[in-house]
């Protein structure tokens, strides 16, 4: 495969010294630049091999290595300088040579680094293809079609019994607007391994698939990531095991929402104890019905009514209450939102099934309590999709 080699030196004699040692092929491209010219040519260094003559330019060499830390670089010096060599390796240098380095040593290192360059070029071309197909983001390798990616990876996990953990990551309503674009994903990518997979499932919300890691280690990794993000964000973590994609997503989103809810439970308790004007609070809740609950319910109804075979979604929006009901021939489920008037919003989910086929146990009712500040459209949307998916699965198994 064609290689791009960039030579950096302020000494013309260096080119005469190094070029014969490179064993350049007809397909290879070689560029020569002085240190002064290089800033305008940095775009040429993608998937390139950088060869730097550091003689009389040690400080500028270190600066260049730090600037281009992801680009393989060979550095040539006039003689041994252990202090400079150590600083070079710290800055990302691949290898260091002097006039006493043999041609065999240079050739062996050169072959090794060119293999890295070829692999990087293939990855770059592949990434560009995925970006064009809208499968990953342009700036970071974050997958956009998480369903296909998870289906493929979970199938591998089931076949190999690999140890894997899925993490769901999200800010809350207060902090999501304070984060810069790509801020969360950039920090995550800087802390994970190459075989870990980051997927975007909504704005500033991610699934992270981690291989060969325990839950404890995953939580330690998450604590480290969380400390590097300036705003508070939350995560749910669960084992993948032999679960289906939807099962593991439901489980990890439940844990994420529990994390978001519990983070402000103390504030809610304090507000309730301090006393709240019930009339004003009820007015605020009815405003949420108009601005959040009714629009999201309607969107979900329009999206799913034609997709749920033999099932129908009905809505009931009233003063102090919002209810979404799914009905099939043998089953129904309710997703009801109310408030007792003490700075808490309750979501009650309950099921009703006719008969008792195969002695199957009816799903248990459950309550989710939210602080008003945590009750936002993105969270409600996630909970409703999870509710519909769980009911559809239960109803199919019951029938």
pLDDT mean over 264-280: 52
pLDDT on residue 239 = 92
| Cα-Cα-Cα-Cα dihedral sign, residues 253, 131, 224, 156 | positive
pLDDT on residue 273 = 43
Q: How far is it, in rounded angstroms, from Cα 184 to Cα 9?
A: 39
pLDDT on residue 166 = 94
pLDDT on residue 64 = 84
The answer to whether the beta carbons of residues 137 and 131 sit under 8 Å apart is yes
Flag the least confident range among 36-40, 134-138, 184-188: 134-138
pLDDT at 267 over 60: no
- Mean pLDDT is highest, among 52-61, 97-106, 350-359, for 52-61
Q: What is the CATH number of domain 4-132?
A: 3.40.50.2300
pLDDT at 194 over 60: yes
DSSP line for 106-168: HHHHHHHHHHHHHHHHHHHHHHHHHHHTTSB-SSS--BS-HHHHHHHHHHHHHHHT--EEEEE
What percent of the chain is modeled with pLDDT above 90?
A: 5
pLDDT at 154 over 80: yes
Q: How far is it, in rounded angstroms, from Cα 200 to Cα 188?
A: 12
DSSP H helices in 275-319: 278-288, 294-304
Flag the least confident range among 32-46, 88-102, 257-271, 354-368: 257-271
pLDDT mean over 173-184: 67
User: For domain 146-263, is the CATH number 3.30.70.270?
Assistant: yes
pLDDT on residue 238 = 92
Q: How far is it, in rounded angstroms, from Cα 81 to Cα 149?
A: 49
pLDDT at 193 over 80: yes
The answer to whether the beta carbons of residues 29 and 2 sit under 8 Å apart is yes
Q: Which residue is listed with tokens 């809208």?
A: 134
Q: Give backbone dihedrals phi and psi of 15, rounded to 5 degrees, phi first.
A: -60, -40
What percent of the chain is modeled with pLDDT above 70?
A: 75
Q: How confident is the model at residue 165 (pLDDT cuts 50, 70, 90)?
A: very high
Q: Which long-range contacts (CB under 8 A, 24 or more apart) does 253-258 make?
A: 253/168, 253/382, 253/386, 254/386, 255/168, 256/168, 256/169, 256/170, 257/368, 257/379, 257/382, 257/383
Q: Would you kindly state where each structural domain of the chain is located, as residue ranges?
A: 4-132, 146-263, 275-398
Checking DSSP bridges between strand 48-53 and strand 73-76, what pairing results, if any?
A: parallel
Average pLDDT, the chain: 78
Give the Å distances, CA to CA, from 102 to 74, 98, 105, 108, 118: 14, 9, 5, 10, 24
In the chain, how many H helices and how many E strands? 12, 14
pLDDT on residue 50 = 84
pLDDT at 374 over 60: yes
pTM of the full structure:
0.47
| Cα-Cα-Cα-Cα dihedral sign, residues 65, 71, 72, 73 | negative
pLDDT mean over 182-211: 84
Q: How confident is the model at residue 387 (pLDDT cuts 50, 70, 90)?
A: confident
- Closest Cα partner for 380 from 266, 264, 300? 300
Across the chain, the runs of DSSP E, i.e. the strands, are 4-8, 29-33, 48-53, 73-76, 95-97, 164-171, 197-202, 205-211, 233-239, 312-318, 321-327, 331-338, 345-353, 366-370
pLDDT at 19 over 90: no
pLDDT digits (tens, 9 = 90+) for 321-349: 888 888 877 788 899 988 876 667 888 88
- Closest Cα partner for 72 from 10, 25, 36, 121? 121
C-alpha 106 chain-centroid distance: 40
Q: Which residue has the higher pLDDT, 372 or 160?
A: 160
């Amino acid at each position: 495969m064609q290689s791009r080699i960039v030579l950096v030196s302020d000494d013309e004699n260096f080119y005469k010294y190094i070029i014969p040692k490179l064993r350049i092929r007809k397909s290879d491209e070689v560029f020569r630049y002085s240190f002064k010219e290089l800033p305008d040519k940095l775009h040429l260094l993608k998937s390139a091999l950088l060869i730097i003559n550091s003689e009389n330019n040690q400080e500028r060499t270190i600066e260049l290595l730090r600037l281009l830390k992801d680009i393989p670089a060979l550095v040539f010096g006039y003689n041994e300088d252990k202090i400079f060599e150590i600083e070079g390796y710290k800055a990302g240098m691949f290898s260091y040579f002097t006039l006493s380095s043999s041609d065999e040593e240079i050739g062996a290192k050169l072959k090794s680094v060119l293999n890295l360059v070829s692999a990087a070029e293939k990855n770059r071309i592949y990434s560009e293809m995925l970006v064009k197909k809208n499968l990953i983001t342009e700036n970071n390798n974050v997958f956009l079609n998480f369903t296909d990616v998870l289906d493929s990876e979970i199938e591998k996990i089931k076949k190999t019994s690999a140890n894997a953990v899925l993490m769901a990551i999200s800010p809350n309503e207060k902090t999501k607007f304070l984060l810069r674009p790509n801020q969360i994903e950039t920090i995550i990518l800087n802390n994970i391994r190459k075989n870990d997979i980051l997927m975007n499932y909504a704005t500033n919300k991610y699934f992270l698939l981690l291989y060969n890691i325990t839950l404890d280690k995953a939580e330690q990794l998450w604590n480290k990531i969380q400390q590097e993000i300036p705003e508070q964000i939350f995560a749910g973590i669960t084992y993948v095991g032999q679960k289906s994609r939807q099962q593991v997503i439901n489980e990890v989103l439940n844990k994420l929402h529990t994390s978001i809810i519990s983070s402000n439970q103390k504030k809610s308790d304090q507000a309730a104890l301090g006393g709240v004007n019930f009339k004003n609070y009820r007015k605020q809740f009815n405003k949420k019905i108009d601005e959040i609950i009714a629009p999201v319910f309607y969107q979900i109804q329009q999206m799913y009514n034609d997709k749920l075979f033999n099932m129908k979604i009905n809505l009931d929006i009233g003063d102090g209450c919002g209810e979404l009901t799914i009905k099939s021939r043998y089953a129904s489920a309710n997703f009801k939102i109310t408030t007792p008037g003490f700075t808490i919003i309750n979501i009650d989910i309950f099921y009703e099934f006719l008969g008792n086929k195969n002695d199957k146990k009816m799903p248990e009712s459950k309550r989710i309590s939210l602080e008003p500040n945590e009750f936002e459209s993105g969270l409600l949307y996630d909970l409703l999709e999870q509710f519909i998916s769980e009911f559809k699965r239960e109803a199919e198994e019951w029938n």
